[in-house]
Amino acid sequence: MDSTSEADAALRRRIRQQEVVADLGQQALETDDLDRLLRDAVVAVAETLTVEYATVLELRSEDDALALRQGVGWREGVIGSATVPVETSSQAGHAPFSAEPVVVDDLRCEEQFFAAELHADRDVGGGISVVIGSAEEPWGVLEAHATEEREFVRHDAEFLERVADVLAAAIDREERRTELEEIHGRISDAFFALDEDWTFTYLNERAHELINPESRELVGRNVWEAFSAATEREFKPKYERAMTDEEAVTFEEYYPEPLDSWFEVRAYPSETGLSVYFRDVTERKERERKLEEARRRYRTLVEHFPNGAVALVDEELRYVTFGGTPSGEVDVAREDLEGERLYEALPAELAELVGPRYERALEGDPSTFEATIGDRTYQFHFVPVRDDDGAVVAAMGLSQDITQRVGIERRLEESEQRYRTLAENFPNGVVALFDDNLEFTLVAGRAFEDLPMEADELEGRHVREIGDGSVADALEPNLQATLEGEESTVELEYADRSWRVHTVPVTDEDGAVVVGLAMAQDVTEQTERARYLQDAKSQLEAATDAGAVGTWEWHVQEDRFVAGPSFARQFGVDPDAAREGVSLEAFVSSIHEDDRERIERKIEAAVESCGEYEAEYRVRNADGELRWVVARGHVECDADGTAITFPGALTDITERKRAERKLQKQREHLETLFEVLPVGVVVAEPDGRLVEANDAAAEIWGGDVFDAESVADYERYDGWWADTGEPIDPGEWTMSRVLEGETVLEPDVVEIETADGDRRTVMIHGMPIRNEAGEVVRGVLTQTDVTERREYRRKLEESEQRYRTLAENFPNGVVALFDDDLRYRAAGGTLVTELGIDRESAVGKTIYERYPDELVETVEPHFEAALEGEETTFEVTYAGRELRAHTIPVRTTGSSRRGMLVVQDVTERKEYQRKLEASNERLEQFAYAASHDLQEPLRMITSYLGLIEERYADALDEDGEEFLEFAVDGAERMREMIDGLLEYSRVETQGEPFEPIELDAVLEDVLADLQLRIEESDAEITTESLPRIEGDGGQLRQVFQNLLANAITYSGDDPPRIHVEAERAGSGWRIAVHDEGIGIEPDEQDQVFEVFQRLHSHEEYGGTGIGLALCRRIVERHGGEITVDSEPGEGSTFTIRLPEERDR
């Protein structure tokens, strides 16, 4: 064979080698089947190099051996089982750690390397071994061996290196894809992707579970058409904002039926549309709703605690809550107390009275006592508030005004019973409970609409009675395992449908399994869809075709470029002209302008160096289409180094480039997912070294703390088991167990100390990632911060405990909750037993079932008013007792309405009031009669004194005239006193009915009446806006007139300065009249409100001594009280407290 023929043969071999590398590279990009790629690679190597053996050996560091993963020429049974020791004295053992190919002509007589047992048994001769991966991080070895002595050339070794590079890239992509997919699969959040036209492009399994229970085909559908209700809620504007502003948005929103769920949503804009992560937070919303309801019930009861006050103090004796309707001398308000320490907020006398009792309650010792403050008697209860573990967390104090019923003590007991039922509309499936005998005790679900039996036909039947026995064969082992405490999942066929059955044990408080729960879902459509996708993938792989476009040879000195027809068409050159030869420029001019200069430089470099040439670039073909190609060739030179020919081959790699771009986008997308996940993700190597952690994990731990080099280094992380408080050892951390092969589906809940010193509660799931051999190669954790969720639960429990403690200690009454149907949901109280009511039988019944018609007719409007949001008070007689009842609305977060009934026994108070009213009436009659009878002799005395003055004035000396003047003045003062007494006695009997009164108008009239006195005394009177109340306008006018007249009279030497103001005081008003007059001694302040009590002589100040007593009588008729606060020489402040509305 001449040298030209040998050169042509060598060129064809090299072109063939390039085509093989290109084909394998294309296949590596398009396939997910690594074993298939390895098999095709060794077949191609054996054919191309014409050798009997081609082998892929995988390095297994734990065994210190190379395993035969794929090969050609080996007998059956060897592949997958045979190994080669990693010994640098053997060709195969040396190759993983060599950056250069290991080439031997004949292993049988080789001095540097000996033949491994695997090769010696086959009498292997010459061969090449190259590393797959790198010498620093080898994956394995690719080998080619002949059975005889063989001298391989440099191009053969380079060819084997290129094939190894393709395999290494495919292996790296596979490991990366598996790892990212595993991380993606561990995401506890649901996820879907939308393109710029709002079309679904992807949904993960969790997304289907949450928003697609009907298993609709959503990919390719418009999101607003598939979920039309979302357009009427925040979903649509929030998504549009994220897309328009290119900024992430986070929000919570409710989606109505059929989902009927709340979602926490995070939407991130991307180059292709929108990535949406969401989770079902319905349960959290429900917890928040219950917490809010409990708070509202507690606050409602506190704020409307009748005729008394209730307070809650913490362990530092600081007021947490204060409320109620206190009366009497103790003038405190909620805003003055809440958040303040008891000993600092209360008057010293009161603090010394109640402080020690609160301290005893905080030590677990309840107490009850009575005390008199001013002229009122109060009963105090102090009780400890405990958590579910029995520990005292606060103390509660209750006080009630028991002046009219001293000695009455009662405790209120209340319990709530909640009923739960199995949802009859379990979507797309069946839910069932089964007992130890594998008999179904309860069955329900929507799937029975399409099954050949009804749900009630299964109840009471054994699992063996379902179908033809195949169902029982599949289910019975799982049901039995569940009764032993294990969860399980099985798939089976029944009624021409595919089912996935998940079973879980139901345990009691001691952890003993009491019943099993089975949930079956119809996955027929899901299974069929999976089969369809697999078939489509297979068809696509079978239809994939790629290969070389053609070859060329450039005669450099003649600038004659010869190429085949397909090559010419790829460059838009006439095929006939190309066959004869054209200039290089004819082809170069078709290269994309952005690539052309780079390719020209590469061609020049290859020609100058007589070297190899390889380049990827874009070219526009005869149809004007832009295609990607890879060109490989080499320059052949003569002995002087002059370039003679430049042969090569061209391969169309457009599809490969598209696949690479798609793969790159997918990789970037997955890496973006990893970084923006709303849960923390941490990845570790098998030895425990932490290699990756996303921003969410760093946020949970308070910084980038993921630098542990081994499991032993985990001791630097401070953590405690949330349920026991015990510290976590390094080997107990979730990652340590995952790296040992444990899958942590039931999450660990731990408390950690973050880098910035905070404490957080974290829920951790974990999953090992395994290779084809089942070995753990990575550990992946997902971490969720549940600190807020646990805090919600704690606050709900504390609120419920406070409400329960208050209800259980409610004295002398009844508290009940009722619903929309006027049905009692809960009831209790010490009065329940006294009224002969069976509490257990009362709960669950309506007022129509509990009471006679005439009583229902009385109370029904008040119950309905509470449901409409209105508070009412009424009195009824029931079971021989007189009762005062309050109906109060209880606000809820849902559409349901609730009301509260608070009842107190006022029988004794009513009897006392009747006696008092009778006594007052007799007293008024006596006062009226006495004053009337005194008028007659007084008129006679006055008349005769007048006659004496008229007839004998001239006969009287100076002393006689003075004595007569004293007698007339005394008679006049007596008349004024009798008129005042008569007016005082008529306050109740002669008063006008109460009606809405504008106090501003009343005060304006009084100022008009006093105008002359104001001008004479140069008085300055300033006023603020006064409220509108219910009352007797004439009597209230008299009160203001007396107070203002007194302020002018007792102003001292300076002109009077008077100020009138009003402010809210609980549910009523506080009206004050300030002056800067002479003031009143502290020990005389109570006397000023007594009848005929004067602090000054008539010579100093005039008056009857009945004006302020009359004011007090009028204010008390209006359900209020009047007090004075004064210092001698500093002026006085008269304060009137009036209710906003008077009970009728």
Q: What CATH code is carried by the domain that includes residue 83?
A: 3.30.450.40
Are 261 and 333 contained in the same domain? no
What does the alpha-carbon distance between residue 753 and residue 713 come to, in Å, rounded to a whole number? 16
Estimate to the nearest angstrom the gap between the alpha carbon of 81 and the chain centroid. Answer: 53
Query: What's the pLDDT at 969?
Result: 66
Query: What's the pLDDT at 1121?
Result: 92
Are 1129 and 1024 contained in the same domain? yes
Are 751 and 866 contained in the same domain? no
What does the alpha-carbon distance between residue 765 and residue 680 come to, in Å, rounded to a whole number? 10
Domain total of the chain: 8
Structure token digits, residue 557? 């000195």
List strand residue ranges (DSSP E) for 343-410, in order.
Answer: 367-373, 376-386, 392-401
**Pairing between strand 1020-1023 and 1057-1065?**
parallel
Query: What's the pLDDT at 288?
Result: 77
- 215 is a domain residue: yes
Q: How far is CA 383 from CA 212, 366, 372, in A?
A: 52, 4, 20
Tally Cβ neighbours within 10 Å of residue 155: 14
What does the alpha-carbon distance between residue 147 and residue 120 come to, in Å, rounded to a whole number? 11
Residue recorded with tokens 């008056």 = 1103
Residue recorded with tokens 């009511």 = 837
End-to-end CA distance of the chain: 129
Tally Cβ neighbours within 10 Å of residue 123: 11
What CATH code is carried by the domain that includes residue 311? 3.30.450.20
Are 1062 and 1030 contained in the same domain? yes
- Reference 197, options 172, 217, 225; nearest CA is 225
What does the alpha-carbon distance between residue 29 and residue 620 come to, in Å, rounded to a whole number? 24
Query: What's the pLDDT at 855?
Result: 87
Structure token digits, residue 587? 């082809």
Structure token digits, residue 855? 């009583």
Are 1015 and 1092 contained in the same domain? yes
What does the alpha-carbon distance between residue 1030 and residue 992 come to, in Å, rounded to a whole number? 12
User: 563 CB contacts (<8 Å, ≥6 apart)?
Assistant: 550, 551, 552, 553, 571, 573, 578, 579, 587
- 286 is a domain residue: no
Query: What's the pLDDT at 151?
Result: 85
Q: How far is CA 1058 from CA 1000, 1036, 1046, 1129, in A?
A: 16, 18, 11, 15
- 635 is a domain residue: yes
Tell me the per-residue pLDDT of 1057-1066, one tens digit each, with 9 for 90 and over: 999 999 998 8
Estimate to the nearest angstrom the gap between the alpha carbon of 1001 and the chain centroid. Answer: 54
The helix/strand/coil state of 917 is helix
- 831 is a domain residue: yes
User: 499 CB contacts (<8 Å, ≥6 apart)?
Assistant: 429, 491, 492, 493, 520, 521, 522, 523
Query: What's the pLDDT at 542?
Result: 37
What does the alpha-carbon distance between residue 529 and residue 408 come to, in Å, rounded to a whole number? 75
Q: How far is CA 67 from CA 41, 44, 59, in A?
A: 17, 21, 6
Tell me the per-residue pLDDT of 864-883, one tens digit each, with 9 for 90 and over: 998 888 999 998 888 778 88
Are 297 and 268 contained in the same domain? no
What does the alpha-carbon distance between residue 445 and residue 431 come to, in Å, rounded to a whole number? 6
Query: What's the pLDDT at 613?
Result: 92
Query: What's the pLDDT at 306?
Result: 63
Are 178 and 213 contained in the same domain? no
Tally Cβ neighbours within 10 Å of residue 627: 19
Tally Cβ neighbours within 10 Å of residue 221: 14
Q: How far is CA 888 from CA 726, 739, 857, 897, in A?
A: 47, 59, 18, 12
Encode burial over 238-273: b for 16+ CB neighbours within 10 A, e otherwise: bbebbbeeeeebebeebbeeebebbbbbbbbbbeeb
Are 669 and 628 contained in the same domain? no
Rounded to 10 deg, the angle between the 3-30 and 654-676 helix axes is 40
Are 165 and 193 contained in the same domain? no
- Reference 807, options 325, 297, 407; nearest CA is 297
What does the alpha-carbon distance between residue 762 and residue 813 come to, in Å, rounded to a whole number? 46
Residue 189, classified by CB atoms within 10 Å of its CB into exposed (0-12), middle (13-18) or buried (19+), is: buried
Are 822 and 864 contained in the same domain? yes
- Reference 1007, options 978, 1037, 1036; nearest CA is 1037
- 668 is a domain residue: yes
- 132 is a domain residue: yes
Tally Cβ neighbours within 10 Å of residue 479: 20
**Pairing between strand 612-620 and 995-998?**
unpaired
- Reference 251, options 292, 279, 211, 288; nearest CA is 279
Asked if 38 and 70 count as a contact pair (C-beta separation under 8 A), the reply is yes
- pTM value is 0.36
What CATH code is carried by the domain that includes residue 1113? 3.30.565.10
Pick the last residue of a domain from 228, 251, 280. Answer: 280
Structure token digits, residue 982? 């008569």
Are 636 and 678 contained in the same domain? no
Cis peptide upstream of residue 101 (ω within 30 degrees of 0): no
Are 306 and 323 contained in the same domain? yes
Pick the last residue of a domain from 159, 184, 209. Answer: 184
Residues spanned by the domain of 1098 = 991-1139
The helix/strand/coil state of 80 is coil
Counting as low any pLDDT under 50, the low residues of the chain are 1, 186, 327-330, 407-423, 425, 533-548, 1097, 1143-1144
- 800 is a domain residue: no
The partner residues of 519 in beta bridges, in order of sequence, read: 431, 502
Pick the last residue of a domain from 280, 310, 343. Answer: 280
Residue recorded with tokens 């006439």 = 574
- 619 is a domain residue: yes
Query: What's the pLDDT at 492?
Result: 83
Query: What's the pLDDT at 597?
Result: 92
What does the alpha-carbon distance between residue 737 and residue 971 come to, in Å, rounded to a whole number? 107
> What is the spatial order of strands in the sheet that 367-373 belongs to?
319-324, 308-313, 392-401, 376-386, 367-373
